[in-house]
């Protein structure tokens, strides 16, 4: 018959304990797939296989031949009736085997265990075993640590085949109408005995008695009634071997609980643990509790209360006045805790994961709050995961606990505004304030003698310079805060360990560590480092730490794997030790030298090349040519302005320069490459007219006047006339009507004073110099043609050409 739901819940609870070994990597889950046999397609790498809740009736040899690495096997909740003796021949590494909730019938015939001698955990609970007699094959399980069994009858000698096996835990899953013979467990050598009851089952007197006599730890699971009998048995015993008694998944009334606890307090038991408790019939007034005991610890986990009308103070008084060294109420809905009525012997107090408020241990009389003075012996106080909000009030709640050395207030909602002074007891050396809402001001509200301080996961952005000096602080944990730089150690003169993981440090200032003369361990990993010049000294610190060459002796934890760049993007996720920041980028002097020296060398080289290749001349000529082209395009010449214009230019020159004009100038301007019409006196002056008239006529018929300047030019009287008339033409036609060509250098002092127009023109106009280098001639002619170029109407044949 299938076990009841209550028993199933108990075995599930046991299963969690039986599977306490390390979890495998390769897990194959084939649970609840309506399988009737072991699948053949299991991966070769399978280490954990779950075949629970299927319809497998038999295991055969070779079922696991492909899973030679198998370590964990769960075939619970099937219909197993038979297992071939060589089923596990191919699984030499098997450590955990769960065959519970099947139909196996005979514990004397489990020969498959002969090939499972590496088993650490074996669960055979909830099968069809009539007797608990174990076969000889169980003696081969020399490594077995946890064994779970169940049968209708347990007799003396049933466990003789495991007498040499040193178990840690033996679990007996009891069935209804259990037949138990006293002394049946004497052959079992185990540290702990677990007894799982069915719903409303009362534990057998002799079984409980043997448990108290033979096992250091005894656990009762699923207990619902029979507490008076248990209390009577404990009260009647003169000697108890058991030191630790566990009650798990129980339902109990308040009178039964307090009676049972008082009985335990008067025995030699050292530890009482209760977990998953449903508590009912709670009191309206205080319940007496023993004033002395040998019990060292009383621990309660996960209590659910079914009563609605009761005195909370009466409940809390019973627990807080218990004469034990360690009292713990964990993960239970208590909102307040009273102060002991007399000086308590409690050394360790743990109220983790409850709903306690800032009023803990205090009481209000009229308008005055009375602080607790009866916990002077307490050394450790743990209030993790409650509803505490004011750090200042907590200091007042604990101020009379003169022996308090360890205080854990993590995972609360604590804040401190810095306006009121805190009054901690004097002997606290270990303070845990992790995962609260504390800011920079918390450093004004700390016990002066603190040696170890945990402030991780708060809102601290900087350690203020005006803080309370913690002269004994050796370890400071500021992980997961908002710090932007390394702190100075002026307030912590003997600081040895500093943890700054997961803050907002971009460029830690290594020079601040100079104030931390005793610092040996530093963790700045998992920060958003900016990998620029400012980080170079920190990178050097990490490299020296890795090579154990640091002058300060500081060890940088998790270097280099957890130190990565966040910026710039090109270096993102690179480790700090793998990036290279050139020294020249970080040293202004080197950077200036690296830039200026090549720049100066290039400038000198360019200037030398320019001088040698006459590049400035080319640039000047190209500039002139460009300007000429631009003026030609931009200047808007009206058609009436060109009436009577027949030539592009009238050439004025000295007779001494005639050879150059006839052989070079005119051919290059009038030839096929030039296409210009040039007026000059040898060809176009009309005989019979005066020279002055010819000059005036030629200037008027030319778009521009071209003067070939030389030392001879300024000595020619006719050239002076031509310049004079052209200057008047310049006033009427604009600044581009005169073009100057400097045939040879012509210093200003060589120009006679009467040529003041020429001096003015040379000062105002850019002139074109004739280059002596033949390589420059082409650019010269192109520049000159560009300066003279203009669209003229087709000139008629004139008397000048006749």
Task: Please provide the DSSP assignment of 96-157 as one string.
Answer: EEE--SS----TT--GGGGG-TT-SEEE--SS--SB-PPPGGGGG-TT--EEEE--SEE-TT
pLDDT value for 653: 86
Which of 229, 226, 283 has the alpha carbon at shortest distance from 258?
283
Q: Compute the C-alpha angle 367/372/378, nearest 5°.
A: 165
Inter-residue contact 330 to 299 (CB < 8 Å):
yes
3-class SS of residue 504: coil
pLDDT score for 697: 81
Q: Which residue has the tokens 């809102």?
A: 459
Lowest-pLDDT range of 284-298, 548-562, 671-685 = 671-685
Q: How confident is the model at residue 491 (pLDDT cuts 50, 70, 90)?
A: confident
Please tell me the least confidently modeled range out of 3-12, 374-383, 391-400, 757-766. 3-12
- Report the pLDDT value the prediction gives residue 734, as an integer from 0 to 100: 53
Mean pLDDT throughout 738-756?
A: 77
Question: Is a pLDDT exceeding 80 seen at residue 28?
Answer: yes
Q: How do beta strands 738-742 and 27-29 pair?
A: unpaired
The values of phi and psi at residue 187, to 5°, are -85, -5
pLDDT tens across 81-105, in order?
999 999 999 999 999 999 999 999 9
Percent of the chain whose pLDDT exceeds 70: 88
Phi, psi of 368 (to 5 degrees): -110, 140
- The tokens of 373 are what? 């003075």
Per-residue pLDDT tens digits for 223-274: 998 899 999 999 999 899 999 999 999 999 999 999 999 999 999 999 999 9
Average pLDDT, the chain: 86
The two three-digit tokens of residue 383, written as one number: 């209030």
770-780 average pLDDT score? 82
- For residue 159, what pLDDT band results from cuts at 50, 70 and 90? very high
Mean pLDDT of 587-610: 77
pLDDT of residue 17: 44
Structure-token pair, residue 457 = 């996961």
pLDDT (0 to 100) of residue 314: 95
The backbone region for 583, taken as left when phi is positive above 0, alpha when psi lies in -120 to 50, beta otherwise, is alpha
For residue 13, the model assigns a pLDDT of 42
Residue 367's Cβ-side half-sphere holds a number of Cα atoms within 13 Å equal to 0
Is the pLDDT higher at 761 or at 276? 276
pLDDT > 90: percent of the chain: 58
Residue 705 has pLDDT above 90, yes or no: no
pLDDT at 416: 95
Of 10-19, 483-492, 650-659, 785-794, least confident by mean pLDDT is: 10-19
pLDDT band at 732 (very low <50, low <70, confident <90, very high): low
- Tell me the pLDDT band of 688, cut-offs 50, 70 and 90: confident
Q: What average pLDDT does range 571-596 have in this prediction?
A: 78
pLDDT value at residue 548: 77
Check whether 174 has a pLDDT greater than 50: yes
Tokens, residue 713: 């030019």
The answer, yes or no, to whether residue 276 has pLDDT greater than 60, is: yes
CATH number for the 618-627+644-788 domain, one of 3.40.980.10, 1.10.10.10, 3.30.365.10, 3.40.50.10140? 3.40.50.10140
Q: What is the pLDDT of residue 467?
A: 74
According to the model, what pLDDT value does residue 730 have?
53
Q: Between residues 301 and 671, which one has the greater pLDDT?
A: 301
Strand order in the sheet with 647-652: 678-679, 647-652, 702-709, 738-742, 768-769
pTM exceeding 0.85: no
Taking Cα atoms as reference points, which of 492, 436, 437, 423 lies closest to residue 464? 492
- The predicted pLDDT at position 464 comes to 86
- Residue 521 structure tokens: 């361990």
pLDDT score for 240: 94
What does the buried/exposed string (b/e) look like for 557-580 if buried means 16 or more CB atoms within 10 Å of the residue's CB?
A: bebbebbbbeeeeebeeebbeeee
Least confident of 66-70, 567-571, 695-699: 695-699
pLDDT in the model for residue 625:
55
- The predicted structure's pLDDT at residue 722: 74
* For the chain, domain boundaries: 588-613, 618-627+644-788
Q: Is the pLDDT of residue 624 over 70?
A: no
Task: Give pLDDT, residue 393.
Answer: 96
- Rounded (to 5) percent helix, strand, coil in the chain: 30, 20, 50
- Of 274, 167, 196, nearest to 14 by C-alpha is 196
pLDDT at 133 over 90: yes
More confident residue, 1 or 340: 340
**Angle subtended by helix axes 205-214 and 227-236, to nearest 10:** 50
Q: What integer pLDDT is reported at residue 4 of this predicted model?
A: 43
Tokens 């003015």 found at: 760
The predicted structure's pLDDT at residue 728: 64
In the predicted model, is pLDDT for residue 199 greater than 70?
Answer: yes
Name the range with the highest mean pLDDT among 173-182, 315-324, 654-663, 754-763.
315-324
**Cis peptide bond upstream of 103, omega within 30:** no
* Mean pLDDT to the nearest integer, 174-178: 82
Cα dihedral sign for 548, 554, 555, 561?
negative
Q: Is the pLDDT of residue 484 over 80?
A: yes
Where is pLDDT greater, at 636 or 702? 702
pLDDT of residue 1: 38
The reported pLDDT for the residue numbered 334 is 93
317 pLDDT higher than 70: yes
Q: Give the residues across from 508 on adjacent strands.
A: none
Position 643 scores a pLDDT of 66
Answer whether residue 293 shows pLDDT above 60.
Answer: yes
Model pLDDT, residue 640: 56
Burial of 498 (0-12, 13-18, 19+ CB in 10 A): buried
**pLDDT tens, 100-128?**
999 999 999 899 999 999 999 999 999 99
The pLDDT of residue 451 is: 96
Lowest mean pLDDT among 52-56, 70-74, 480-484, 739-743: 739-743
Average pLDDT over residues 36-42: 94
């Amino acid at each position: 018959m299938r076990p009841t739901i209550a028993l199933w819940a108990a075995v599930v609870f046991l299963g969690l304990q039986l599977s306490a070994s390390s979890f495998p990597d390769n897990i194959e889950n084939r649970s609840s797939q309506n399988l009737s046999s072991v699948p053949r397609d299991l991966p070769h790498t399978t280490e954990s296989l779950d075949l629970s809740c299927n319809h497998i009736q038999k295991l055969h040899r070779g079922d696991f031949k492909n899973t030679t690495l198998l370590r964990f096997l769960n075939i619970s909740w099937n219909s197993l009736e038979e297992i071939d003796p060589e089923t596990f021949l191919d699984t030499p590494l098997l450590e955990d085997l769960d065959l519970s909730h099947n139909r196996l019938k005979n514990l004397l015939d489990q020969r498959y265990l002969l090939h499972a001698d590496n088993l650490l955990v074996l669960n055979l609970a909830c099968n069809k075993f009539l007797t608990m007699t174990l076969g000889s094959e169980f003696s081969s399980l020399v490594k077995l640590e946890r064994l779970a069994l169940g049968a209708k009858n347990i007799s003396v000698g049933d466990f003789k085949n495991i007498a040499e096996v040193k178990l840690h835990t033996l679990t007996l899953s009891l069935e209804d109408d259990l037949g138990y013979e006293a002394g049946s467990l004497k052959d079992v050598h185990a540290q702990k005995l677990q007894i799982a009851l069915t719903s409303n089952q009362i534990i057998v007197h002799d079984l409980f008695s043997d448990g108290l006599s033979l096992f250091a730890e005894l656990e009762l699971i699923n207990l619902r009634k029979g507490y008076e009998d248990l209390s009577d048995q404990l009260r009647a015993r003169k000697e108890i071997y058991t030191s630790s008694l566990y009650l798990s998944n129980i339902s109990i009334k308040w009178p039964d609980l307090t009676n049972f606890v008082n009985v335990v307090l008067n025995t030699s038991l050292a530890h009482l643990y209760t977990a998953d408790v449903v508590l009912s019939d709670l009191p309206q007034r205080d319940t007496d509790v023993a004033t002395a005991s040998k019990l060292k610890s009383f621990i309660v986990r996960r209590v659910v209360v079914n009563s609605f009308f009761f005195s909370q103070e009466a409940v809390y008084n019973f627990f807080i006045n218990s004469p034990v060294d360690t009292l713990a109420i964990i993960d239970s809905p208590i909102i307040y805790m009273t102060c002991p009525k007399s000086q308590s012997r409690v050394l360790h107090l743990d109220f983790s994961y409850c709903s306690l408020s800032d009023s803990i241990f205090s009481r209000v009389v009229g308008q005055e709050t009375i602080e607790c003075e009866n916990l002077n012996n307490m050394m450790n106080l743990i209030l993790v995961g409650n509803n505490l909000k004011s750090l200042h009030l907590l200091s007042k709640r604990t101020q009379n606990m003169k022996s308090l050395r360890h205080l854990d207030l993590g995972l609360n909602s604590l804040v401190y505004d810095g306006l009121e002074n805190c009054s901690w007891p004097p002997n606290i050396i270990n303070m845990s304030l992790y995962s609260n809402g504390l800011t920079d001001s918390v450093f004004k509200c700390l016990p002066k003698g603190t040696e170890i301080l945990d402030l991780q996961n708060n809102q601290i952005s900087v350690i203020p310079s005006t803080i309370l000096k913690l002269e004994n602080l050796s370890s400071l944990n500021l992980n997961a805060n908002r710090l932007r730089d390394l702190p100075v150690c002026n307030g912590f003169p003997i600081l040895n360990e500093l943890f700054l993981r997961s803050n907002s440090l971009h460029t830690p200032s290594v020079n601040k560590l100079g104030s931390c003369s005793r610092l040996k361990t530093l963790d700045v990993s998992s920060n958003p480092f900016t990998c620029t010049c400012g980080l170079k000294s920190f990178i050097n610190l990490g490299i020296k730490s890795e090579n154990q060459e640091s002058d300060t002796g500081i060890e940088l934890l998790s270097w280099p794997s957890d130190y990565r760049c966040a910026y710039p993007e090109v270096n993102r996720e690179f480790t700090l030790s793998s990036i290279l920041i050139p020294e020249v980028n970080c040293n202004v002097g080197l950077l200036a030298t690296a830039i200026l020296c090549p720049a100066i060398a290039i400038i000198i080289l360019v200037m030398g090349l320019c001088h040698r290749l006459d590049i400035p001349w080319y640039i000047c000529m190209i500039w002139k040519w460009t300007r000429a082209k631009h003026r030609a395009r931009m200047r808007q010449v009206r058609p009436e302005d060109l009436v009577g214009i027949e030539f592009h230019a009238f050439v004025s020159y000295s007779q001494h320069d005639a050879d150059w004009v006839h052989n070079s100038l005119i051919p290059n301007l009038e030839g096929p490459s030039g296409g210009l019409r040039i007026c000059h006196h040898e060809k176009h002056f009309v005989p019979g007219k005066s020279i002055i008239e010819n000059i005036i006529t030629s200037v008027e018929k030319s778009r521009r006047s071209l003067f070939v300047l030389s030392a001879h030019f300024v000595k020619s009287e006719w050239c002076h006339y031509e310049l004079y008339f052209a200057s008047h033409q310049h006033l009427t036609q604009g600044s581009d009507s005169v073009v100057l060509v400097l045939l040879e250098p012509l210093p200003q002092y060589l120009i006679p004073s009467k040529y003041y127009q020429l001096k003015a023109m040379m000062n105002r106009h850019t002139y074109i110099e004739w280059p002596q280098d033949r390589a420059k001639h082409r650019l010269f002619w192109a520049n000159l043609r560009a300066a003279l170029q203009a669209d003229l109407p087709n000139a008629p044949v004139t008397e000048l050409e006749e």
